[in-house]
Structure 1
């Protein structure tokens, strides 16, 4: 793989933008999130406070059925107090690779196993306040089984053509960022075939 010279030059010049950590403390540590407060030195020498969330990372799966439809789920997301349409996803457990997380989440949330996996990309969905990364996968050659939902997990599954999902994204009916990015990547992936 060749390195883009312009991107390489930007990467090298970004060293001048680095902020040096002077101290770090945990403000809150829960089951999922670790809220941190760091004192940093800016490139110009000033000292400021940075607050951010440490997250273990996640994986998301775009399940593509043989008939070209995608498998979606609807689930309630408490911070926004409503149900969202999204692809299956979940946090990376200790000792698990992103791919293992994707396989586990696909099985738990949908009951499906995939015979073919393609890593699409990695996104950083909240760079202003979190180090979370989400690795996106395309899952094909699906075989259906039984859902293995966690005790307090409730999801509704349904399928739609990818074109319908793209229309919902364009109309603003689907707003989950990982689902939107996954849909666009799969659309490009399929067009390239």
Structure 2
């Protein structure tokens, strides 16, 4: 098995401010063709920022697709061509008013690989300085400081449904336990 699909045609069905939707025709490894619908997204970043007391900074905000308020790691969209590390530092400052130190990459997350090309770059850090939040004009959120152990418990009890936040909290807790953060 080759486990590969060759793109034969690609048609843009929608292009918006944040996403583009393609309908592609692909050739499968058995020679047959099939259709693929793909959401193109520039990707995003998030950060698990820890205080000296091992509290993780989380943000509570309304998420329109789910029509509910979610508790998440500070995060944001990448602009086309933007360096993910610079973006995560910007988003941390904007959403929490903090800067970090000792950043550690926690890797990348593919949130919906069946139809979306988005990649979320995840970091952990220690909070270095506190300042003022600089939210975007259309951004409304509240910052919460939650002990890391409690945040892990919340993930395991299904109180935090957001995938990037679950991964970031669990990987950060493992690094803290190993003495690496």
Unaligned runs of 5+ in 2: none
User: What is residue 67 of structure 1 aligned with on the other side?
Assistant: 53
Return the TM-score normalized by structure 2.
0.96
Q: Which runs of 4+ in 1 moved over 4 A?
A: none
Q: Distance between the aligned counterparts of 1:45 and 1:18, measured in 2?
A: 11
| 1:168 CA displacement | 1.1
Question: Is this contact kept in 2: 1:71–1:158, CA < 8 A?
Answer: yes
Return the TM-score normalized by structure 1.
0.90
Residue 140 of structure 1: SS of its match in structure 2?
Answer: strand
Question: Is this contact kept in 2: 1:34–1:53, CA < 8 A?
Answer: yes
From 131, 134, 142, the counterpart of 2:128? 142
Q: Distance between the aligned counterparts of 1:165 and 1:67, measured in 2?
A: 13
| 1:117 CA displacement | 1.1
Question: Is this contact kept in 1: 2:98–2:127, CA < 8 A?
Answer: no
| Residues paired across the two proteins, number | 179
Within the alignment, does 1:89 sit opposite 2:69 as a pair?
no
Question: Is this contact kept in 1: 2:49–2:127, CA < 8 A?
Answer: no
Question: Is this contact kept in 1: 2:98–2:131, CA < 8 A?
Answer: yes
Bigger proportion of residues as helix: 1
Bigger proportion of residues as strand: 2
